[in-house]
Structure 1
Amino acid sequence: MAWSKPVMAALPFIVNFPTEHYRVKTGMYVKTFNLFDLISWNLPLTFTLLPSPEFQFFSATKENLIQLTIRQPGLPTIKMITEAGIIGKVGFNSAGVAVNYNALHLQGLRPTGLPSHLALRMALESTSPSQAYDRIVEQGGMAASAFIMVGNGQEAYGLEFSPISLRKQVLDAKGRLVHTNHCLLNHGENAKELDPLPDSWSRHQRMENLLDRFDGTKEAFSRLWEDEDNYPFSICRAYEEGKSRGATLFNIMYDHARREATVRFGRPKDPDETFVLQFDDEDKRSALNAKL
């Protein structure tokens, strides 16, 4: 084979480092980034953080996803769905703490804040949502504009980060916490969103409407993420050439009573694979050693 062939094949994947460094410096965003619908429902059955279109991105990204288990002396065992090489993403730990993540489109960054994945990892190494909050705030919050949700079977909250401020989202009067890809909290007139995803509002409203009819069962909760209203820009998102570039890559539902998570790869309406994340005896011994 002529050397020119692999060179041409590699060109689309070469990183333009000056451009990427400029983006890091100025806080530029990727328009079709991690698209999540997140929800917490305060039930004995489950506190769930569900990425919906669970984790939306370009379909090719699915090939990069892995299930990762991390055991560290004196810390909770972590189980998460991430991309190879990313140290903190969407998952939960043997102390019962779960995290999720939403991209927001605001220009700029907080120079003293943590990189997004380090903040997520810090939360996953915590023994309670309250501890995660204290640790992240103590470290200056998150550098990028983003939203994270942290919770266990007893408490849940969301944190919205902008270059200007940090705001905390709490459960509403019905015990719910719902978030998509636009700011719900006031960060001041200088924190302006840049070209937010137009379907973020419709997905947020649709989820709240579905929750008004939610009967509280785990089965019904699972079906929320199969909703195709406003297809292909639905909660269960789909790729459609020339219209929708993103699709649901996976969905994860945490059951804190059992300390397990059900993962559906692909669109929840018709998943490619379904499996359950559970902690084994070694994980439980690790939690015991960490006094969890």
Structure 2
Amino acid sequence: MVLIVNAFGTPYEHGQQAKDQVLGSISYYGSLFESTCGLDWPSVREEATKYLDTLERLCPEYLEEIRGIAEGAGVTLLDIVALNVRTEINFGLFSQEPKLPIQLDGCTALAIKSGHGPSFLSQNWDWVTRQGQNLIVYTVQRPDTDIPRFTVVTEAGIIGKIGLNESGVGVCLNAIKARGVDHTKWPVHLALRKVLESSSRQSAIDELVSTGLAGSAHLLIADEFGATGLESTAKTVELLPADDQGVVIHSNHLLLNHAGSEESLWLLDSPQRSDRMQQLVTEELSSKQALTASDIFKLFQDEEGYPNGINRDAADDSSAETLFNIIMNLSERTATIAFGRTTNVVERVHVSF
């Protein structure tokens, strides 16, 4: 069963309750960074130090949370900082000739607010099978603050990822491989955390646009009124509005123009997945005014292009598969997380505020 971590007091609880999973995350990313970036763990820690001043400036409370997780898990502060900047390391500092191909991530995300229907935010999260055992469902409540309570599905040790809050703001993530990092900006996973602490989609977007992101990614940010895609590189931020049907779809390549970006289309199936999802959504909306959560889940079961489709499987030369699906109803402040491939669900976790 997936570990449920409730941090209603100190961040120490995350590290203590999820110690085995935190250690598992460190072990996994240690081997990954060695393979894709040529960095051993001491070098990874050295890279992590470059973010300390930025974290102290932008979000000292996050740095304290990271410190608490480290203490609870019995590891160093830099070990946990490294996990929280894993996107910048893996997708911004990749080697020209990595020991292993970076064929790891294949996430497909969908937001839809059509007609008088609810605002849905959803995605399949695909990653290396081994890391699935280190996923946790993490709920954070900060007493005596105006920060909304939120629940996030994340890798143990990482304080921000995919989820929603009690204000009805949610966020999904698509990895994008574009060279370069900027240590003075929001690390991607801490930007995700910032969204989860926001009271509205617009306030989250305003914060991230004003500061920028340290690396490349797509954040699909939504609330009960609709969704906006936020594409970033280390140099640029561009916004992707919903189409005339209230739909935003994204996979793992840049859809917008980013001046000066050096993107590598590392997943050849990424355009096919986004096109396929668009086709499926268009077909559904041709006969329905609005989609249900059940309708959306069926879209994410699609296996066209198997094993590298929307519902990814670990086969051929890839070790990645769909590890979970999440469907958030932001109008009702609820979510269902289905662990495993969408055609072979092993556990469901329901969230409501």
Shared fold (TM-score greater than 0.5)?
Answer: yes
Q: Shift of residue 12 of structure 1?
A: 10
Instruction: Please name the residue that 1:198 is paired with.
Output: 268
Q: Secondary structure at the residue paired with 2:184? A: coil
Q: Shift of residue 18 of structure 1?
A: 5.2
CA contact (8 A) 1:26 1:109 kept: no
**1:50 pairs with one of 99, 122, 130:** 122
Given the superposition, is the C-alpha separation of residues 171 and 68 from structure 1 closer, same or farther in structure 2, using an over 3 Å criterion? same
Compute the RMSD of aligned alpha carbons.
Answer: 2.3
**2:230 pairs with one of 151, 154, 159:** 159
Given the superposition, is the C-alpha separation of residues 33 and 112 from structure 1 closer, same or farther in structure 2, using an over 3 Å criterion? farther
CA contact (8 A) 2:138 2:152 kept: yes
Instruction: Please name the residue that 1:149 is paired with.
Output: 220
1:176 aligns with 2:247: yes
* Consecutive unaligned residues in structure 1, runs of 5 or more: 1-9, 280-292
CA contact (8 A) 2:28 2:131 kept: no
Where is the helix percentage greater, Structure 1 or Structure 2? 2
Instruction: Please name the residue that 1:237 is paired with.
Output: 312
Distance in 2, matches of 1:79 and 1:11, equals 24
Q: Shift of residue 234 of structure 1?
A: 1.0
Distance in 1, matches of 2:299 and 2:28, equals 41
Q: Shift of residue 150 of structure 1?
A: 0.7
* Consecutive unaligned residues in structure 2, runs of 5 or more: 1-26, 35-39, 48-87, 95-100
Q: Shift of residue 194 of structure 1?
A: 1.8
CA contact (8 A) 2:241 2:248 kept: yes
Q: Shift of residue 47 of structure 1?
A: 2.3
CA contact (8 A) 1:109 1:143 kept: yes
Percent of pairs identical after alignment? 32
CA contact (8 A) 2:168 2:330 kept: yes
| 1:105-129 CA-partner distances (Å, limit 9, x unpaired) | 1001233211111111111100000
1:271 aligns with 2:345: yes
CA contact (8 A) 1:45 1:255 kept: no
- Paired residues for 1:116-135 under 5 Å: 116-135=188-207
Distance in 2, matches of 1:27 and 1:163, equals 8
Normalising by structure 2, what TM-score? 0.70
Distance in 2, matches of 1:119 and 1:233, equals 28
| Bigger RCO (CA 8 Å, 6+ sep) | 1
Aligned residues: 265
Q: Show structure 1 runs of 4+ deviating over 6 A.
A: none
Q: Secondary structure at the residue paired with 1:271? A: strand
Q: Secondary structure at the residue paired with 1:137? A: helix
CA contact (8 A) 1:32 1:57 kept: no
| 1:198-228 CA-partner distances (Å, limit 9, x unpaired) | 0001101100110111133312211000001
Distance in 2, matches of 1:131 and 1:92, equals 15
Instruction: Please name the residue that 2:132 is paired with.
Output: 62
Instruction: Please name the residue that 1:259 is paired with.
Output: 333
Given the superposition, is the C-alpha separation of residues 74 and 156 from structure 1 closer, same or farther in structure 2, using an over 3 Å criterion? same
Distance in 1, matches of 2:167 and 2:204, equals 12
